[in-house]
């Protein structure tokens, strides 16, 4: 179900990834030998019940966490070997992240929140225009001067999406972005993501909700029995 | 110069100045005194004791920074501000001034005159109140305390004290080394200045005598260096008796012995031989009063064998050369004698003796060997009443010059004391309150810095998700640090500036309050505010630096966590994994060992000052206990379990969740308690153990000080204040007690008079 791609080279590739958490005396193996490649323009959803390791996987893809073993290759470069500066650059330029909680900074307005990633990348005037266009696109044109606590949960999540897209990332990661929204807002956001994915032609990895309902908009649902760890996690056998 | 109050001719100042024109010299008559309000104004605090009364001339005020345009007329005085404040007097007010008369001889020396009042009183008008710049603070002692000063015209004060032309203090200044000044003094002084005089007798004998009856040992040994000199001692004995017959109160002369006379033998005059019926070979009992070191006299008796009898004509020269004793030599009748020894009134009226006195005056009744006399009558004031010079080619001027050369002005009390230098030394070695306060405040400063650090740690911990968000949006760790530093810097700098301004303002206010309302708290030290830009900048800089270090440290620590961890957990909480944490016992033990060692060392060696040890041990103990606390929390933290919930377990969990915070709070509290206990434990109630001999009071509950010396035995003094009293003789000097914050340079010396 892959969309036609401009390039068949993967944006990000996981090679034999394992991830375990240490909690007190126990070690919890969440992911075991996961191999995964995401290509430009591809839409992919990962489904699984709560606690099965979806967030863990997403954090690894998004360089927000390091695997216990295995390699994360981003555009052909081993993330583990990048300097903090280079990782920061990758996060800023190539990855857009939408969290389950919006993680907007409360002290800034909607527009400012959207512009924060551009503080590093682009020159101001054009970026402001683009931010306003994007906010307009998600229906928040008249909310730019509000602060996060002055808008609704769905609106916040849309701001977070715009923030994730502002630097034209090649990979948009969304970890249960609709998880804290009601059905209508969730559907709206899902539609938006699909449209944006088409418009911006980027690799997308929206993370579906545990019941797979949200995976409807994903180009590919990753839940196969060929991934023992994911499967095991899905059966609640993640810990050992 | 001269702290011993030895009076000299006031014109010595001019002679010294003439010798060394670069020297500014002023003669001062400095007398201990009292100042009180006239009866109509009397209140409970109407009298000031231990007032320094300074008889000065215009020369004196040239030493002032801001010379006062005060003309001191007779019957007027100027006072310093402290005196004016204490008595609430102002120019134009009348006050009663009492001064102690200068004395050439100690009041309690044997044969010293008891005639005349020891003090003189006059009602005077306050003409001016002198500021410190006008020499109002004039003091020769190295003490921060300002004396009560009264300035009067010197010649008027001399008249009041009955000592015309006399001064007892020379102050010198100008561009002259102390050595040069002393050399000028050595050239300028005269025998009269040190109370010595030479008398020549037609027989060719020249005799050296002293105003203070007994001659200084220094002068005696200088005189003995001149060939043909011999010391003599004249004394008054109570009685000479032989075979049931007796003559009272007789002068005895001891000097060069007649050829062949040995120790224990005596020459009597013809009158005594007739009166007592004594002949050569007979024995005489001589009863005399001996001055004991405790200032009491005891009567002792010694037996002498008559060696020979001298005719009255032979002894006429002795009559002429007998030293002049005020209150004795100058009275008509023996009954009027008044000297520093107890006398029996009825014996004084002995008619035969009265007749002898009328006819022969001070002619000695008995002549002894000098060594016998010295054995009996030498005392703390000396053992020689005159030195005689006989021989060819001696004249008064020659002997005077030889004596001046042989006597060192310094030893005899005519030395310049470098008071300013001594003062400087005293201050430079003074009690370093800065250090003490810094030691105290060190704990306050540590607590403040801990508080500051905690504030920043908490603030940043709260913002961990923000840090994580920024990191996930592509902000590098250094950029995040930059953002937070940029954000904290202005606030901390503003805080530091505000703190510096507010702090100095508060200090200024505190000092003003201290000086105004509670000067006793600083032992009367004049406190003044001094701020240096350097220390303020350093203080502010340290605060800002500390805050910045904390910010950088917290962010550096945050950067070691992945954004996922920063989002998910609170990065300051430590992992609850079980830890082999026994090595944590090493650092606190390393702090405890020296702390115990220092305490033991201080306990065993009893050093003079515990302050440093005290604070060092305190700081080490704080570190050690915090270290043990950390260890304990680590152990508890690794053992927490909720299988059976208990409220105390909740508490333990919360305590161990952030050990740093828990211990910071504990450390802050400890610093505060330490300060409170340290300050309150260092208070000492002096009165509590006052009756212990080992306490600072020496076991005396009350200490009374008189402005004018009290003479007599301890019992007399005790009777005066109706208590068991131990009199002390005091040589005035710098207070070496705790009220003098400076190092005493010439400490007050108190000598035990009584065998108590
Ligand atoms: N910091 C952590 N320490 C220990 N275990 C964790 C930690 N974070 C997540 N886990 C465990 O890893 C598993 C996967 O979690 P997660 O990836 O958040 O699941 P999902 O997002 O699929 O709900 C869960 O069983 C969870 O308990
Ligand atoms: Mg999740």
Query: Using H for helix, E for strand and C for coil, what is the string for B141-210?
Result: CCCCCCCEEEEEEHHHHHHHHCCCCEECEEEEEECCCHHHHHHHHHHHCCHHHHCEEEEECCCCCEEEEE
Quote the radius of gyration of chain A (alpha carbons, Å).
18
Domain boundaries, chain B: 8-189, 192-406, 463-568
CB atoms within 10 A of CB A95: 26
The count of structural domains within chain A is 1
Three-state SS at B309: strand
Helix axes A84-93, B477-517, angle to 10 degrees: 110
| Interface touch B577/A25, C-beta < 8 Å | yes
Find the mean pLDDT for residues B513-517.
Answer: 78
Kindly identify the ligand whose nearest atom is closest to the C-alpha of A176.
Answer: 2
Alpha-carbon distances of B568 from A20, B344, B460, B492, B654, rounded to whole Å: 15, 109, 15, 30, 19
- The angle subtended at Cα B736 by Cα B730 and Cα B737, nearest 5°, is 105
Q: How far apart are the first and last CA of chain A?
A: 35
Q: Which residues pair with B54 in a beta bridge?
A: B30, B151
Domain at A15, CATH number? 3.40.50.300
State what percent of residues in chain B have pLDDT above 70.
82
Whole-number mean pLDDT of chain B?
80
Give the pLDDT of residue B156.
92
Give the pLDDT of residue A109.
92
Give the pLDDT of residue A67.
93
As a whole number of angstroms, the distance between CA B80 and CA B84 comes to: 6
Q: Indicate if ligand 1 lies below 6 Å from the C-beta of A179.
A: no
Check pLDDT > 70 for residue A152.
Answer: yes
Residue A3 belongs to some domain of the structure: no
- By mean pLDDT, which of A166-170, B214-218, B524-528 is the weakest? B524-528
Residue A143 belongs to some domain of the structure: no
Give the pLDDT of residue A234.
33
Residue A53 belongs to some domain of the structure: yes
Query: Residue A189: left (phi > 0), alpha (psi -120 to 50), or beta?
Result: alpha
Can you tell me which atom of ligand 1 is nearest the CA of A50?
Answer: 23
As a whole number of angstroms, the distance between CA B348 and CA B359 comes to: 16
Measured between beta carbons, the chain A residues lying within 8 angstroms of B474 are 88-93, 95, 117, 120-121, 167
Minimal CA separation from A89 to chain B, in Å: 6
DSSP states along A63-95: TSS--SEEEEEETTEEGGGS-HHHHHHHHHHTE
Residues 6+ apart with CB under 8 A from B652: B636, B640
Give the pLDDT of residue B212.
78
Q: Comparing B431 with B286, which gets the higher pLDDT?
A: B286
Whole-number mean pLDDT of chain A?
77
Give the pLDDT of residue A226.
39
Q: Indicate if ligand 1 lies below 6 Å from the C-beta of A52.
A: yes
Find the mean pLDDT for residues B743-748.
Answer: 69
Comparing CA positions, the residue from B470, B564, B559 lying closest to residue A61 is B564
Give the pLDDT of residue A148.
92
Measured between beta carbons, the chain B residues lying within 8 angstroms of A167 are 474
Minimal CA separation from B574 to chain A, in Å: 11
Minimal CA separation from B563 to chain A, in Å: 5
Q: Comparing B478 with B515, which gets the higher pLDDT?
A: B478
Residue A135 belongs to some domain of the structure: no
Comparing CA positions, the residue from B232, B197, B190 lying closest to residue B211 is B197
Find the mean pLDDT for residues B14-34.
Answer: 87
Residue A145 belongs to some domain of the structure: no
Check pLDDT > 80 for residue B303.
Answer: yes
As a whole number of angstroms, the distance between CA A68 and CA A21 comes to: 9
Give the pLDDT of residue B641.
60
Q: Comparing B692 with B364, which gets the higher pLDDT?
A: B364
Residue A133 belongs to some domain of the structure: no
Alpha-carbon distances of A104 from A110, B19, B310, B465, B739, rounded to whole Å: 8, 94, 129, 10, 66
Q: Indicate if ligand 1 lies below 6 Å from the C-beta of A30.
A: yes
Give the pLDDT of residue A237.
33
As a whole number of angstroms, the distance between CA B674 and CA B577 comes to: 34
Give the pLDDT of residue B409.
75
pTM (two decimals): 0.56
Give the pLDDT of residue B737.
64
**A to B CB pairs, distance under 8 Å:** 67
Give the pLDDT of residue A70.
93
Q: Which residues pair with B166 in a beta bridge?
A: B9
DSSP states along chain A: -PPP-S--SEEEEEEEEEEEEEETTEEEEEEEEEEEEEETT-B-EE---TTSSHHHHHHHHTTSS--SEEEEEETTEEGGGS-HHHHHHHHHHTEEEE-SS----TTS-HHHHHHGGGGTSS-HHHHHHHHHHHHHHTT-GGGTTS-GGGS-HHHHHHHHHHHHHTT--SEEEEESTTTTS-HHHHHHHHHHHHHHHHHHT-EEEEEPPTTSGGGGG-SSEE--TT-HHHHHHHTT----
Give the pLDDT of residue B85.
86
Residue A46 belongs to some domain of the structure: yes
| Interface touch B466/A92, C-beta < 8 Å | no
Measured between beta carbons, the chain A residues lying within 8 angstroms of B486 are none
Beta-sheet pairing, B366-369 with B245-255: parallel
| Interface touch A91/B567, C-beta < 8 Å | no
State what percent of residues in chain A have pLDDT above 90.
24
Check pLDDT > 50 for residue B627.
Answer: yes
Check pLDDT > 70 for residue A1.
Answer: no
Q: For B632-659, how does the pLDDT look when each residue is reduced to its tens digit (9 = 90+)?
A: 888 776 655 666 667 777 777 778 777 7
Q: Indicate if ligand 1 lies below 6 Å from the C-beta of A27.
A: no
Q: Indicate if ligand 1 lies below 6 Å from the C-beta of A55.
A: yes
CB B612 within 8 A of CB B577: no
Give the pLDDT of residue B676.
83
Kindly identify the ligand whose nearest atom is closest to the C-alpha of A47.
Answer: 1
Give the pLDDT of residue A233.
34
pLDDT bin (cut points 50, 70, 90) of residue B579 is low
As a whole number of angstroms, the distance between CA B570 and CA B555 comes to: 13
Prediction ipTM score = 0.84
Q: Indicate if ligand 1 lies below 6 Å from the C-beta of A235.
A: no
Measured between beta carbons, the chain B residues lying within 8 angstroms of A120 are 474-475, 479
Chain A contacts to B (CB-CB under 8 A)? 22, 24-25, 59, 62, 64-66, 84-85, 87-93, 95, 97, 99, 103, 105, 116-117, 120-121, 163, 167
Check pLDDT > 80 for residue B392.
Answer: no
Comparing CA positions, the residue from B218, B446, B249 lying closest to residue B346 is B249
Residues 6+ apart with CB under 8 A from B391: B227, B228
Q: For B490-514, how does the pLDDT look when each residue is reduced to its tens digit (9 = 90+)?
A: 988 998 889 888 888 898 888 888 7
Q: Which of A25, A89, A103 sits opposite B474 (nearest CB)?
A: A89
CB atoms within 10 A of CB B182: 19
**How far, in Å, is the centroid of ligand 2 from the Cα of B573?**
22
Give the pLDDT of residue A194.
77
CB B299 within 8 A of CB B291: no
Check pLDDT > 60 for residue A54.
Answer: yes
**How far, in Å, is the centroid of ligand 2 from the Cα of A52?**
8
Which tokens go with B310?
């001298």
| Interface touch B473/A116, C-beta < 8 Å | yes
Quote the radius of gyration of chain B (alpha carbons, Å).
39
Whole domain around residue A80: which residue ranges?
10-105+170-233
Q: For B150-209, how does the pLDDT look when each residue is reduced to its tens digit (9 = 90+)?
A: 999 999 998 888 888 888 888 888 777 888 888 888 888 888 888 888 888 888 888 998
Q: Which of A22, A65, A88 sits opposite B474 (nearest CB)?
A: A88
Kindly identify the ligand whose nearest atom is closest to the C-alpha of B567.
Answer: 1
CB A170 within 8 A of CB A94: yes
Check pLDDT > 90 for residue B112.
Answer: no
Which tokens go with A10?
């993967």
Check pLDDT > 60 for residue A110.
Answer: yes
Q: For B325-359, how does the pLDDT look when each residue is reduced to its tens digit (9 = 90+)?
A: 777 777 777 777 777 677 787 888 888 888 888 88
Find the mean pLDDT for residues B521-546.
Answer: 78
Q: How far apart are the first and last CA of chain B?
A: 34
CB B635 within 8 A of CB B577: no
pLDDT bin (cut points 50, 70, 90) of residue B682 is low
Residue A238 belongs to some domain of the structure: no
> Which residue is associated with the tokens 């909680």?
A101
Check pLDDT > 70 for residue B715.
Answer: no
Minimal CA separation from B614 to chain A, in Å: 43
Best residue of B473, B486, B566, B571 to probe chain A, by most A CBs closer than 10 Å: B473
Burial A14-47 (b: 16+ CB within 10 A, else e): beebbbbeeeeeeeebbbbebebebbbbbbbbbb
For B637, which residue in chain A has the nearest alpha carbon?
Answer: A24
């Amino acid at each position: 179900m892959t969309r036609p791609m401009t390039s068949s080279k993967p944006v990000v590739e996981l090679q034999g990834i394992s991830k375990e958490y240490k909690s007190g005396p126990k070690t919890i193996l969440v992911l075991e030998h996961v191999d995964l490649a995401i290509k430009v323009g591809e839409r992919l959803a990962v489904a699984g019940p709560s606690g099965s390791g979806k967030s863990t996987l997403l954090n690894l893809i998004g360089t927000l966490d390091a695997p216990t073993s295995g390699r994360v290759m981003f555009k052909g470069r081993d993330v583990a070997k990048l300097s903090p500066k280079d990782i920061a650059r990758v996060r800023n330029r190539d990855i857009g992240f939408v969290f389950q909680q919006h993680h907007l900074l409360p002290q800034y307005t909607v527009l400012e929140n959207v512009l924060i990633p551009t503080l590093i990348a682009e020159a101001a005037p054009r970026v402001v225009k683009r931010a306003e266009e994007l906010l307009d696109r998600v229906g928040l044109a008249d909310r730019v001067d509000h602060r996060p606590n002055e808008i609704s949960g769905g609106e916040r999540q849309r701001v977070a999406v715009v923030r994730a897209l502002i630097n034209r990332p090649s990979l948009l990661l969304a970890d249960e972005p609709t998880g804290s929204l009601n059905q209508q807002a969730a559907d709206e956001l899902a539609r938006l993501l699909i449209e944006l994915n088409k418009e911006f032609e980027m690799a997308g990895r929206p993370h579906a909700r545990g019941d797979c309902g949200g995976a409807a908009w994903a180009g590919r649902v990753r839940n196969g029995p060929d991934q023992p760890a994911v499967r095991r996690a899905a059966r609640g056998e993640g810990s050992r | 110069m001269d702290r011993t109050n030895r009076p000299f001719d006031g014109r010595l100042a001019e002679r010294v100045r003439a010798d060394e024109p670069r020297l500014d010299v002023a003669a001062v008559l400095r007398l201990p005194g009292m100042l009180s309000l006239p009866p109509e104004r009397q209140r409970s605090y109407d009298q000031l004791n231990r007032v320094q009364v300074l008889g000065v001339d215009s020369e004196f005020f040239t030493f002032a920074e801001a010379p006062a345009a005060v003309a001191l007329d007779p019957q007027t005085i100027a006072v310093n501000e402290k005196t004016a404040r204490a008595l609430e007097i102002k120019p134009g007010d009348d006050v009663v001034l009492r001064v102690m008369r200068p004395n050439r001889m100690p009041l309690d020396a044997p044969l010293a005159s008891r005639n005349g009042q020891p003090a003189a009183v006059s009602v005077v008008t306050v003409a001016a109140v002198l500021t410190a710049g006008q020499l109002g603070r004039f003091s020769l002692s190295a003490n921060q305390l300002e004396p009560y000063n009264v300035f009067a015209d010197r010649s008027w004060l001399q008249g009041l004290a009955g000592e015309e032309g006399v001064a007892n203090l020379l102050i010198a200044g100008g561009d002259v080394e102390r050595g040069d000044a002393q050399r000028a003094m050595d050239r300028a002084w005269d025998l009269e200045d040190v109370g010595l005089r030479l008398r020549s007798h037609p027989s060719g004998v020249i005799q050296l005598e002293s105003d203070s009856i007994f001659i200084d040992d220094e002068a005696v040994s200088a005189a003995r260096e001149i060939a043909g000199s011999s010391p003599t001692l004249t004394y008054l004995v109570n009685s000479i008796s032989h075979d049931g017959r007796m003559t009272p109160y007789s002068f005895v002369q001891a000097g060069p012995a007649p050829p062949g006379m040995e120790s224990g033998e005596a020459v009597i005059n013809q009158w005594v031989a007739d009166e007592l019926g004594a002949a050569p070979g007979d024995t005489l009992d001589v009863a005399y009063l001996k001055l004991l070191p405790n200032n009491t006299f005891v009567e002792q008796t010694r037996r002498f064998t008559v060696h020979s009898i001298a005719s009255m004509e032979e002894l006429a020269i002795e009559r002429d050369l007998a030293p002049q004793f005020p209150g004795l030599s100058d009275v008509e009748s023996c009954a009027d004698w008044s000297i520093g020894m107890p006398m029996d009134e009825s014996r004084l009226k002995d008619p035969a003796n009265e007749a002898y006195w009328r006819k022969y005056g001070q002619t000695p009744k008995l002549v002894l060997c000098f060594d016998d006399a010295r054995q009996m009558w030498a005392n703390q004031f000396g053992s020689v009443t005159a030195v005689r010079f006989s021989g060819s080619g001696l004249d008064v001027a020659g002997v005077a010059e030889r004596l001046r050369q042989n006597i060192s002005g310094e030893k005899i009390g005519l030395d310049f004391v470098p008071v300013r230098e001594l003062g400087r030394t005293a201050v430079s070695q003074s009690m370093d309150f800065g250090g003490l306060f810094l030691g105290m405040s060190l704990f306050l400063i540590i607590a403040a810095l801990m508080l500051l650090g905690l504030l920043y740690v908490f603030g940043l911990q709260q913002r961990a998700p923000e840090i994580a968000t920024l990191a996930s949006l592509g902000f590098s760790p250094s950029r995040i640090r930059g953002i937070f530093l940029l954000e904290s810097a202005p606030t901390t700098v503003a805080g530091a500036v505000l703190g510096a301004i507010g702090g100095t303002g508060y200090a200024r206010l505190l000092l003003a309050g201290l000086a105004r309302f509670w000067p006793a708290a600083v032992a009367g030290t004049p406190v003044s505010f001094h701020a240096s830009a350097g220390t303020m900048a350093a203080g502010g800089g340290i605060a800002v630096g500390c805050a910045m270090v904390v910010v950088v440290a917290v962010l550096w620590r945050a950067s070691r966590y992945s954004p996922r961890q920063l989002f998910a957990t609170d990065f300051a909480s430590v992992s609850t994994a079980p830890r082999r944490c026994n090595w944590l016992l090493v650092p606190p033990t390393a702090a405890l060992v020296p702390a115990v060692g220092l305490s033991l060392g201080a306990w065993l060696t009893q050093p003079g000052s515990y302050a440093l040890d005290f604070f060092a041990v305190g700081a080490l103990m704080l570190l050690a206990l915090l270290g043990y606390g950390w260890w304990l929390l680590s152990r508890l933290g690794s053992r927490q379990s909720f299988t059976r919930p208990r409220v105390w377990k909740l508490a333990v969990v919360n305590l161990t969740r952030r050990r740093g915070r828990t211990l910071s709070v504990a450390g802050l509290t400890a610093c505060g308690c330490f300060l409170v206990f340290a300050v309150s434990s260092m208070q000492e109630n002096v009165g509590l153990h006052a009756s212990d001999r080992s306490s600072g009071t020496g076991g005396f509950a009350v200490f009374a000080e008189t402005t004018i010396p009290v003479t007599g035995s301890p019992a007399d003094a005790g009777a005066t204040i109706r208590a068991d009293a131990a009199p002390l003789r005091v040589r005035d000097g710098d207070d070496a007690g705790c009220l003098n914050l400076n190092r005493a340079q010439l400490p007050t010396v108190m000598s035990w008079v009584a065998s108590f």
